[in-house]
Amino acid sequence: MNDGMMMASQPQIMESLCVAVAGQGGDGSLTLVTLIARALADYGYHIYESRNVASRIKGGHAAAFLRAGVDPVPAQGHDLDLLIAFDVEAIEILGPRVVENGVIIFDSSSEPCPMGGLKTGVEIIDVPFGRYAVRELRRDLYKNSLGYAVTCAILGLKGDLVQAKMREVYGRLPANVIAANLAAMETGFQIAGDFGYRGGRSRWQPRTLSPTPKHHMTGNEALAFGFLAAGGRFFAGYPITPATDIMEWLEKYLPDLGGVVIQAEDELASINMALGAAMTGTRTMTASSGPGIALMTEGISQAGSAELPVVIVNCQRAGPSTGMPTKPEQSDIGLMTQGANGDFPHVVLCPATPGECFEAGRLATDIAEIAQIPVFVALDQVVAQDRASFTLPHMGSLTINRGKRLAGPKGPGGPEYRRYQLTDDGISPWTIPGTPEGMSLVTGNERNEWGHVDTGPENRRRMMDKRARKLETISAMLPIAVNWGDASSDIGIIGVGMERGVMRDLTSLLARQNKSAAFHSPRTLWPVLPETLEFIAGKSRVFVIEHNREGQLFRLLGGALASRSHMTNITRYDGRAFSPEDLVRRLHEEGADL
């Protein structure tokens, strides 16, 4: 320990905090971040949680990260104020990220904390958590509750709140297990006292902030909530990382609202079940990742042809094929925007925060039904599975737009019902099965207004043009980009999804260096909106930030007639997110005057 007693007597007011917990996958240690996050949320802090785990059930380096702040926090953060390390590998990987005068709590059951590579003044608290847990509580797993208590003592969190959060998180466990964890926690507080963290003395002192109603959800959970709030009542999917959370969340809540969740035998079945449900007038969704979306492509094309409304969520991960299932990437942009067979109107929304995911789930459901088209929601592993604070809109303010849905299309002497009627806006009035005199035919072939197969050249042209008009009709509904920074700067930076958070942090980093840039983060990937082309045209240099090797967003913008002459691509595809420092270095390498 380095000056532990001195540190404990001079607490630092907690304005912001970055914490990491690391150990072996499956050992339960990452639960500490969940416990600490919930406690800090009760103080009123904004929270951001993320995880880095291997694609295996147990073993291998695993880490969880928590960033808390008085103000909203946009991303994980790189520098660590506090590291709880349960093995040497955690020190080797994350120790160099601990700031000067930061704190490392180390499980020294096997050996003391290695000091190599650590910054000046880092306080080391060596505690043999594993040995304590086995000797006193007869189970190694209780080391996590010991570590939780020591951490909370250092952070200055109230003991009753700390205990309440443990009861809340472990609430479904048997009573004797909860009691054992609470006993371990009390032992942990005694251990913290041995290092000077007793009698109200702590390293940090949390502020009690004005409480504002906030939800703490992952992007997957928020999107599922938005779908539910929009009247979505049918979901079919097949388990796949990182999309499975959507199905699991809906399984908890959708049946209570009369909805149905089906775990299909594969992605082919999922999309076709969703199309069948859509034909009944039920708002439907499916979700997968790149490999599953590839299997769904024929069904999605059928939805485009037959004009069936369906929401498809793609939680992108590192590919190709199985790739790295737990690592982030944005390498399905081409698949979602250009990957289906034939031409048909569709939309790709691209939220970047849990709040935007809620809105995207709601809006995609409306757009799909209003325009009778497939709508993608493009997430990536970071947006899908990281957890952050946001405020939900008032549920009473939300409305549901069913589009041109007819209760009874033909009255006495009324017009004959034509499912694919040619209209100026490209959208045909529609009915659901069972509507009197509202029968229609559905086929994957080109058809005429009544649904009969018709491959004649004139009909083909009319039908293709009719469907294409839909995008212009719904253009005002598509979410516009988020812009910030110095609008007058000659340097523009573009990124979507997971890049938004680090771009926000980059803004602050540049401000500290008296530098600036203009930032543009589209929320609609397809169609490419005029605002993005105008942003590019108005800058001398534009840098496109993305997570894939081929520059798929860069190519998409170029294909939409953005000038490539002053656009530069900055890519990453090693399974790790950018940090602001990474981006500054890459921008300098590409000649940016920042």
Q: How confident is the chain (594 residues) per 10-residue block, as mean pLDDT?
A: 47 95 86 94 95 82 95 93 95 96 94 91 93 82 92 94 94 92 92 87 90 87 98 98 98 97 98 97 97 97 97 97 96 95 96 97 98 98 96 86 82 79 97 87 93 97 98 97 97 98 96 95 98 96 97 95 90 96 95 88
Amino acid code (one letter) for 454: D
Say which CATH architecture domain 216-397 belongs to. Answer: 3-Layer(aba) Sandwich (3.40)
Answer yes or no: are the C-beta atoms of 239 and 247 closer than 8 Å: yes
Answer yes or no: are the C-beta atoms of 269 and 275 closer than 8 Å: no
Dist. CA 237–CA 232, nearest whole Å: 14
pLDDT computed for residue 198 by the predictor: 79
Answer yes or no: are the C-beta atoms of 165 and 41 closer than 8 Å: no
Structure-block tokens of residue 409: 């299309």
The answer for residues whose C-beta is within 8 angstroms of residue 269's C-beta and 6 or more apart is 236, 238
Structure-block tokens of residue 209: 């902030």
pLDDT computed for residue 4 by the predictor: 41
The answer for residues whose C-beta is within 8 angstroms of residue 484's C-beta and 6 or more apart is 504, 507, 519
Q: Which of 480, 133, 463 lies closest to 304 in space, CA to CA?
A: 463
Q: Tokens 């602050």 identify what position?
A: 508
Structure-block tokens of residue 450: 């009544």
Answer yes or no: are the C-beta atoms of 225 and 361 closer than 8 Å: yes
For the purposes of burial, counting CB atoms within 10 Å of the CB of 416, is it exposed (0-12), middle (13-18) or buried (19 or more)? exposed
Cis (ω within 30 of 0) for the bond into 580?
A: no
Dist. CA 60–CA 50, nearest whole Å: 17
Dist. CA 551–CA 573, nearest whole Å: 10
pLDDT computed for residue 133 by the predictor: 84
Q: Tokens 């209003």 identify what position?
A: 370
Dist. CA 545–CA 542, nearest whole Å: 10
Backbone angles phi, psi at 62, to 5 degrees: -140, 140
Q: Read off the pLDDT of residues 212-229 as tens digits, 9 standing for 90 and up.
A: 778 999 999 999 999 999
What length is written for the chain? 594
Backbone angles phi, psi at 123, to 5 degrees: -85, 125
E strands, 446-539, where?
A: 482-485, 491-494, 518-521, 524-526
Amino acid code (one letter) for 528: V
Structure-block tokens of residue 136: 């006193």
Q: What value, to the nearest 5°, has the Cα angle with vertex 211 and ends 209 and 217?
A: 110
Dist. CA 115–CA 343, nearest whole Å: 60
Quickly list DSSP for 356-405: HHHHHHHHHHHHHHHHTSEEEEEEEHHHHH-EEEE-PPPGGG------SB
Backbone angles phi, psi at 484, to 5 degrees: -160, 180
Cis (ω within 30 of 0) for the bond into 206?
A: no
Structure-block tokens of residue 426: 């490209």
Answer yes or no: are the C-beta atoms of 533 and 524 closer than 8 Å: no
pLDDT computed for residue 52 by the predictor: 92
Element (DSSP H or E) covering residue 274: helix 267-279
Amino acid code (one letter) for 540: S
Dist. CA 488–CA 443, nearest whole Å: 52
Q: Read off the pLDDT of residues 246-301 as tens digits, 9 standing for 90 and up.
A: 999 999 999 999 999 999 999 999 999 999 999 999 999 999 999 999 999 999 99
Q: What value, to the nearest 5°, has the Cα angle with vertex 430 and ends 425 and 431?
A: 170
Q: Tokens 């009915």 identify what position?
A: 431
Which residues are 107's β-sheet partners?
Answer: 127
Q: Which of 445, 437, 446, 370 lies closest to 401 in space, CA to CA?
A: 370
Fold of 4-206: Pyruvate-ferredoxin Oxidoreductase; domain 3 (3.40.920)
Q: How far is CA 379 from CA 386, 504, 524, 553, in A?
A: 11, 18, 12, 14
Fold of 482-589: Rossmann fold (3.40.50)
Answer yes or no: are the C-beta atoms of 379 and 223 closer than 8 Å: yes
Answer yes or no: are the C-beta atoms of 529 and 481 closer than 8 Å: yes
Amino acid code (one letter) for 388: A
Q: Which of 94, 118, 109, 96 lies closest to 146 in space, CA to CA?
A: 109
Task: Give the start-to-end residue ranges of the domains of the chain.
Answer: 4-206, 216-397, 482-589
Structure-block tokens of residue 352: 């970047």
pLDDT computed for residue 19 by the predictor: 97
Domains 4-206 and 216-397 equal at CATH topology level? no
